[in-house]
Structure 1
Amino acid sequence: MPAIELGGIEMRLISILKGCKMQLGAAALLAASHAGAAEPSPGITDDTIKIGVTGPLTGPVAVVGGVAEGIRARIEQGNAEGGVKMGDGKTRKIELVIEDDGLDPQRTLANVRKMVEKDKVFALVGTAATPNNLAIGRYITQKKVPNVFMYSGVVSLNAPEWEVGFVPSFSTEADAFAKYLENNKPDAKVAFLYLNTETGQTFMKAFDRAIEDSTIKVLERQPVTSQDPTVETQLNTLKASGADTLIVIAAPRQGGEAIRFQSESGWKPLTLVTNLSSAYPVLQSVGLENAKGIITSDFLKPIISDQKSGDEGVDRYLDAIKAAKVNFVFANTIGQTGYAIGDALIQSLEKLKEPTREELMNVVQNMDGWQNPLLFDGIKISTKEKSDLYPIEALQLYQFDGQKYVPVGGVLDFEGDTHE
């Protein structure tokens, strides 16, 4: 068979067809590589990630707004240092969207709807208060939006696939107070001033269980709300009960009134105040001398000066709040908690191998002994998916000496033992 000679046109056609084949092959490889990568969730680009924060920036419980301010300080510090190098290899700046809810659960829900649907945030962080987190549970589950490192000691998570707390549960704090009384005042006669919400109910239920086999007795319980203008009537009832020990689980304003009352009324019981209302600004508002001797719990290092301490974590915190011009004093444990929450968020993003909300939840539900710059020595952050979603389950007790909180005893560790 004679050889076939190809002309110029035929040769060019073959060349074009070969080029198309190579381009199709490259396109197929590219498509295959993209098929293996997760589609980014809303709120994240190659350069930025948008995070939502809602809390009481104004109103009677504006002191709790220190959480949002502390978060802002840590995020601004991270952004100033170049951003967060995330687990997918990309470095991103964090864009915060902060909204004021006055600690009203319905305003919290409205804020979250806006942030998710209009602002397109990737996740929520540091949402304050138990009723407020309960109010958004159904919505974030429906929208599949992470609500991480909540500022709430809620035990019964109502959106467990999409939320993780940060601060110890109220039941852990109750266990710590019960342990202190068993060791130091085993015949205590207790009076409770408690928030008439899941917060107070959870605390008292855990405390009652913890003292079942002890000689500690509860003589009186008086409920309050965070909106009560005064709780003097309840406090007088508690005083009249004959109790020699007062436990306060209340919002900052009502907790502060209780601290002043137990001192100025001549009652002077042993007073244990939950972390919720024992921040330094609360004590200042009622007079530091009235707070002398009260006991509280915390999981953070005591910060007693705004001068450099030599502790790297504390000094970075002091630098951050100064640069951010926060509206709280350095000793404010609520603001410190916000900073610690911001740091936990950054650590989570550093481990994010895929830019998805699902991956964020995978990371925060499987934290294994994470360090944090402000955590008290010996306390770490750990979770275990489906079996232990409470990051911090250890506490240090402190007693106020009139000027500062002083550690009492060693760390009380309840790891893996958080219960309703």
Structure 2
Amino acid sequence: MSFISTLKGCAMPLAFAALLAASNANASEPSPGVTDDTIKIGVTGPLTGPVAVVGGVAEGIRARVEQANAAGGVKMGDGKIRKIDLIIEDDGLDPQRTLANVRKMVEKDQVFALVGTAATPNNLAIGRYITQKKVPNVFMYSGVVSLNAPKWEVGFVPSFSTEADSFAEYLKANKPNAKVAFLYLNTETGQTFMKAFDGAIGSSNIKVIARQPVTSQDPTVETQLNTLKASGADTLVIIAAPRQGGEAIRFQSESGWKPLTLVTNLSSAYPVLQSVGLENAKGIITSDFLKPIISDQKTGDEGIDHYLDAIKAAKVNFVFANTIGQTGYAIGDTLIQSLEKLKDPTREKLMKVVHNMNGWKNPLLQEGITMTTKEGSDIYPIEALQLYQFDGQKYVAHGGILDFEGKTHE
């Protein structure tokens, strides 16, 4: 055989090998944090400190993940069953600690994605970093409007502007001449809410006559509340962290002021009301997107019963009625749904999945509320709320679900 014929004989296998190599090069390589039997997910939140109650988000996520792992793991979209290796770090709700935690989880622990990152300033603090590293930050516990890394982030809870719209709708229908006083978090949270509320009341007869700022670190808010009381307002809107929000709920009752009080979901959890006295919270209005859970006994509702089983097995540090912990559980379930739909275990494809949710359900969502996103135009999974009034013992639904699907605004 000549040298030429030998080359001809090698041509086909060489061409096939080149084609195979090109094919392999084009195939998506799994992102960091993924093996054939595990996927690593990071959580950072305030497990200690003055706002440790928000750590219920991380605890709720842990309960749902441990429940899934105990059942054998998650059958992901590529057909492989993986257990979730959950790494949880404490940040005390300090944005700089959040960034340090995220760096450690991404660079040392090699997490695939972050889930349930709490608070607006904390999510803003990590936006640039996760964009550089191309790490998903999914189902944030933050009602932010302007995301800092839109390609790599998606929220979970309704935007603060959606909650503001729901409060404005309530006042238009029930107190159309309200004189409103705001106790507001002096962060993007409070600014977003107030801007949306001011726009929603428009040319109505509702007037905002006083505003007082608060931070989550303030030891007391009595000075601000006395100023608001003196303004002559007959309606108080509280946008504050749980401790300061609870103090405001107690003040409006015990001081003899007695305004109509609307409290954002941030500080209306049942344990907050217990801490300041249920009688002081009677009559307050709040909003929620989750089913009311008023007992730790089985209800016959499959979603609630699975939640109760999970938090008992996980020995979480929050009570069953804590809506912050419930939200964490719901976030954990949505993460699992996302992994079940993820056919290609890459970070890019995960973002594709969570930016194109279409009517997803969740075991703890109110009947009639689903999760929908649309890549490039709608980054808010939940845009509907139910208003509730506290009767001294429990929250009672007021009216029907307010649906703002596709209408979230700055």
Partner of residue 140, structure 1: 130
Cα distance in 2 for partners of 1:206, 1:257 equals 25
Aligned length: 405
Report whether the alignment pairs 1:387 with 2:400: no
Report whether the alignment pairs 1:83 with 2:73: yes
Cα distance in 2 for partners of 1:271, 1:124 equals 35
Partner of residue 282, structure 2: 292
Q: Which runs of 5+ in 2 are unaligned?
A: 1-5
* Pick aligned residue for 2:366 from 376, 389, 392: 376
23-32 or 335-344, which deviates more: 23-32
Q: Which runs of 4+ in 1 moved over 4 A?
A: 20-33
Structure 1 residues 394 and 22, CA gap change in structure 2 (3 angstroms): same
Report whether the alignment pairs 1:112 with 2:102: yes
Residue-by-residue CA offset, 1:22-46 (whole Å, 9 max, x unaligned): 9989967864663453111111111
Residue-by-residue CA offset, 1:283-303 (whole Å, 9 max, x unaligned): 111011111111100100000
32-41 or 249-258, which deviates more: 32-41
> Shift of residue 209 of structure 1?
0.3
Report whether the alignment pairs 1:342 with 2:313: no
Correspondence list, 1:92-131, <5 A: 92-131=82-121
Structure 1 residues 169 and 349, CA gap change in structure 2 (3 angstroms): same
> Shift of residue 281 of structure 1?
1.1
Cα distance in 2 for partners of 1:286, 1:178 equals 26
- What is the DSSP-based 3-state SS (H/G/I as helix, E as strand, rest coil) of the residue aligned with 2:82? strand
Cα distance in 2 for partners of 1:71, 1:22 equals 54
Report whether the alignment pairs 1:268 with 2:277: no
Cα distance in 2 for partners of 1:22, 1:197 equals 66
Partner of residue 38, structure 2: 48
Report whether the alignment pairs 1:198 with 2:188: yes
Residue-by-residue CA offset, 1:129-174 (whole Å, 9 max, x unaligned): 0000000000000000000000000000110000000000000000
Residue-by-residue CA offset, 1:384-413 (whole Å, 9 max, x unaligned): 001000110000001111111111100000
- What is the DSSP-based 3-state SS (H/G/I as helix, E as strand, rest coil) of the residue aligned with 1:161? helix
TM-score, normalised to structure 1's length?
0.93
Residue-by-residue CA offset, 1:99-121 (whole Å, 9 max, x unaligned): 00000000000000000000000
- What is the DSSP-based 3-state SS (H/G/I as helix, E as strand, rest coil) of the residue aligned with 1:326? coil
The aligned amino acid for 1:134 is L
Report whether the alignment pairs 1:414 with 2:404: yes
TM-score, normalised to structure 2's length?
0.96
> Shift of residue 379 of structure 1?
0.4
* Pick aligned residue for 1:38 from 28, 38, 60: 28
Larger Rg: 1
* Pick aligned residue for 1:228 from 204, 218, 224: 218
**Percentage identity across paired residues of the two chains:** 87
Cα distance in 1 for partners of 2:330, 2:150 equals 22
- What is the DSSP-based 3-state SS (H/G/I as helix, E as strand, rest coil) of the residue aligned with 2:161? helix
Partner of residue 154, structure 2: 164
* Pick aligned residue for 1:69 from 48, 59, 62: 59
402-411 or 167-176, which deviates more: 402-411
- What is the DSSP-based 3-state SS (H/G/I as helix, E as strand, rest coil) of the residue aligned with 1:321? helix
Cα distance in 2 for partners of 1:241, 1:36 equals 66
> Shift of residue 200 of structure 1?
0.3
Partner of residue 213, structure 1: 203
Cα distance in 2 for partners of 1:188, 1:359 equals 48
- What is the DSSP-based 3-state SS (H/G/I as helix, E as strand, rest coil) of the residue aligned with 2:181? strand
Cα distance in 2 for partners of 1:45, 1:213 equals 57
- What is the DSSP-based 3-state SS (H/G/I as helix, E as strand, rest coil) of the residue aligned with 2:237? strand
The aligned amino acid for 1:316 is H
The aligned amino acid for 2:385 is L
The aligned amino acid for 1:115 is M
* Pick aligned residue for 1:357 from 308, 328, 347: 347
Cα distance in 1 for partners of 2:153, 2:228 equals 37
Report whether the alignment pairs 1:326 with 2:306: no
- What is the DSSP-based 3-state SS (H/G/I as helix, E as strand, rest coil) of the residue aligned with 2:387? strand
The aligned amino acid for 1:146 is P
- What is the DSSP-based 3-state SS (H/G/I as helix, E as strand, rest coil) of the residue aligned with 2:212? strand
* Pick aligned residue for 2:306 from 309, 313, 316: 316
Cα distance in 2 for partners of 1:30, 1:100 equals 46
Partner of residue 296, structure 2: 306
Q: Which runs of 5+ in 1 are unaligned?
A: 1-13
Partner of residue 3, structure 2: none
Cα distance in 2 for partners of 1:328, 1:105 equals 23
Residue-by-residue CA offset, 1:52-80 (whole Å, 9 max, x unaligned): 00000000000000000000000001111
Cα distance in 2 for partners of 1:368, 1:200 equals 30
Cα distance in 1 for partners of 2:389, 2:296 equals 20
Cα distance in 1 for partners of 2:86, 2:177 equals 50
The aligned amino acid for 1:197 is T
> Shift of residue 277 of structure 1?
0.5
> Shift of residue 21 of structure 1?
10
Cα distance in 2 for partners of 1:129, 1:78 equals 26
Partner of residue 140, structure 2: 150
